[in-house]
């Protein structure tokens, strides 16, 4: 028997560490070693591990209603979750479609956008626009939407549908060049484009690459001129990761659809939502059965996951959680400059990142940090910190001190 791990070259990578317990910002292995989870376990555990209140909410819900088919039925935890989110989203985003993870939230958005145009009788819109290097998940549609410019999925590129990638900008001048290329493309092809899909303000899996809200706003305005649907993939950025509830809160242009997952249940259970507006919903609201959105997963809107998500939202809104989020952002701003030899130091909200000269060095740093009891997971030569919001200032300072201790910094 062998367990095959995700995103892992089983031949060359170290054996997995066996985790026995988690509490707050800490994970403990079966030997009793303690680690600070500086990746929030793939960016999901925003409130730390084994949060008692979320565990109690799950326990309670499991005893009342563990699951029910979501076609033809509804339930209080799903309704409560959507009404809580509705109060936090821009008012135009008011139609909620459930699925299970970030990739499925993206699949739903891509399919909805495509079918929208079919339903309104506009044919030939089958191109998606993305931002070069973006990542939207590992299912075929999500990989396709990211296109061949993604560093992860080129093996499958012969299956990909047609995309246009906007160049990722390094500065104002390259922003202008990228926009000019986009305008050129839209001039000839705008009427064939179905949707723009983009991670707002920061690309996560591309290596925590930050770009300006002005650039995002200009992209949105350009594509809107051609009737193209705008999808913001907030799977990573949602729930205060960038300092605001959603990254789009820092942007004057709002999308037609948003994809949410990861932190939505505080890292306890899989759940995802694709939220859209009246323009899209109305195109499916019909007496014609062909206009139905025929998509659904067995565990759609699982009540236990929804109960965990409701409790997560409640905790997130508390003043003490908001204070922690602000303190993490401030600590990043204060301590990043101390990594004086790190390349391209950057932070946005609770996320900090910097680059080192080679991926090999990043791996050495990762191994040394793990030996010190700090979990990081570099992407190529980019190192990032994305802690749970319950981390203490003392622990975060200690993480920075451990990094500063490297001769390279």
Ligand X SMILES: Cc1ncc(COP(=O)(O)O)c(C=O)c1O
Residues that bind ligand X (CB under 6 A): 101-103, 106, 135-137, 199, 204-205, 233, 235-236, 261
Residue 145: CB minimum distance to ligand X, A: 10
Least distance between ligand X and beta carbon 339 (Å): 24
The smaller minimum CB distance to ligand X, of residues 135 and 400, is found at 135
User: Looking at beta carbons only, is 265 or 329 nearer to ligand X?
Assistant: 265
Tell me whether residue 135 or residue 389 sits nearer to ligand X (CB atom).
135
Tell me how far, at minimum, the Cβ of 288 lies from ligand X, in Å. Answer: 32
Minimum distance from CB of 75 to ligand X (Å)? 23
**Looking at residue 24, what DSSP letter applies?**
B
- DSSP 8-state class, residue 349: T
Least spacing, CB of residue 37 vs ligand X, in Å: 16
Residue 166: count other Cβ atoms within 10 Å of its Cβ. 23
Determine phi and psi for 348, rounding to 5 degrees.
-145, 115
CB of 199 to ligand X, least distance (A): 5
Distance of CA 248 to the CA centre of its chain: 13
How much is the CA Rg of the chain, to the nearest whole Å?
Answer: 21
Q: Up-side HSE of residue 215: CA atoms within 13 Å toward CB? A: 25
Residue 61 has phi, psi (to 5 degrees) of: -65, -40
If the CB atoms of residues 196 and 403 are measured against ligand X, the closer one turns out to be 196
The strand pair at 382-385 and 95-99 is best described as unpaired
Residue 366 φ then ψ, to 5°: -60, -50
Q: Which is nearer to ligand X, 47 or 403 (CB)?
A: 47
Closest CB 14 distance from ligand X, rounded Å: 22
Please report how close the Cβ of residue 90 comes to ligand X at its closest, in angstroms: 19
Strands in 343-348's sheet, in edge-to-edge order, are: 343-348, 351-355, 382-385
Minimum CB–partner distance for residue 139 and ligand X (Å): 7
Task: Give the integer Cα–Cα distance in Å for 386 and 2.
Answer: 30
Angle, vertex CA 144, rays to CA 142 and CA 145, nearest 5: 65
* 3-class secondary-structure state, position 1: coil
From 408, 384, 347, select the one nearest 38 (Cα to Cα): 384
Nearer of residues 291 and 295 to ligand X, judged by Cβ: 295
Q: Which is nearer to ligand X, 273 or 403 (CB)?
A: 273
> How many separate helices (H) and strands (E) can be counted in the chain?
12, 16
Query: Given CA atoms 396, 402, 408, 409 in this order, what sign does their dihedral have?
Result: positive
Length of the chain: 409
**For residues 132 and 283, which CB has a smaller minimum distance to ligand X in the complex?**
132
137 versus 255: smaller Cβ distance to ligand X: 137
Minimum CB separation from ligand X for residue 216, in Å? 14
Reading the block at residue 59, the tokens are 């326990």
Tell me which DSSP letter residue 268 carries. Answer: S
| Cβ pair 381, 359 in contact under 8 A | yes
Closer by beta carbon to ligand X, 181 or else 297:
297
């Amino acid at each position: 028997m062998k367990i095959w791990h995700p995103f892992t070259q089983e031949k060359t990578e170290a054996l997995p560490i066996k985790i026995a317990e988690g509490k707050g910002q800490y994970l403990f292995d079966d030997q009793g070693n303690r680690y600070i989870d500086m990746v929030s376990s793939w960016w999901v555990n925003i409130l730390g591990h084994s949060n008692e209140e979320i565990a109690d909410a799950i326990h309670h819900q499991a005893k009342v209603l563990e699951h029910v088919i979501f076609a033809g039925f509804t339930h209080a935890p799903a309704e409560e979750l959507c009404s809580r989110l509705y109060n936090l989203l821009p008012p135009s985003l008011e139609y909620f479609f459930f699925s299970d993870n970030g990739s499925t939230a993206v699949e739903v958005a891509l399919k909805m956008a495509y079918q929208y145009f079919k339903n309104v009788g506009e044919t030939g819109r089958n191109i998606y626009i993305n931002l070069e290097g973006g990542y939207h998940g590992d299912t075929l549609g999500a990989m396709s939407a990211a296109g061949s410019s993604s560093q992860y999925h080129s093996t499958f590129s012969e299956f990909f549908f047609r995309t246009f990638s906007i160049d990722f900008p390094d500065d104002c001048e390259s922003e202008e060049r990228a926009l000019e290329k986009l305008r050129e493309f839209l001039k000839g092809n705008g009427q064939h484009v179905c949707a723009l899909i983009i991670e707002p303000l920061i690309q996560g899996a591309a290596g925590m690459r930050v770009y300006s809200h002005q650039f995002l706003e200009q992209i949105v305005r350009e594509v809107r001129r051609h009737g193209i649907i705008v999808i913001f993939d907030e799977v990573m950025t949602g729930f205060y990761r960038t300092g605001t509830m959603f990254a789009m809160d820092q942007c004057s242009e709002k999308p037609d659809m948003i994809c949410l997952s990861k932190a939505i249940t505080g890292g306890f259970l899989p759940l995802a939502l694709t939220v859209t507006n009246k323009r899209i919903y109305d195109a499916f609201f019909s007496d014609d059965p062909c206009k139905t959105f025929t998509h659904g997963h067995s565990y759609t809107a699982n009540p236990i996951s929804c109960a965990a998500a409701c409790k997560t939202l409640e905790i997130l809104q508390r003043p003490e959680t908001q204070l922690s989020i602000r303190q993490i952002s401030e600590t990043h701003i204060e301590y990043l400059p101390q990594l004086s030899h790190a390349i391209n130091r950057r932070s946005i909200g609770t996320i900090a990142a910097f680059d080192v000269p080679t991926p090999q060095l990043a791996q050495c740093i990762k191994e040394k940090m793990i030996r010190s009891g700090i979990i990081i997971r570099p992407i190529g030569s980019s190192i990032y910190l994305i802690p749970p919001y319950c981390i203490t200032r003392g622990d975060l300072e200690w993480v920075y001190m451990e990094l500063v201790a490297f001769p390279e910094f």
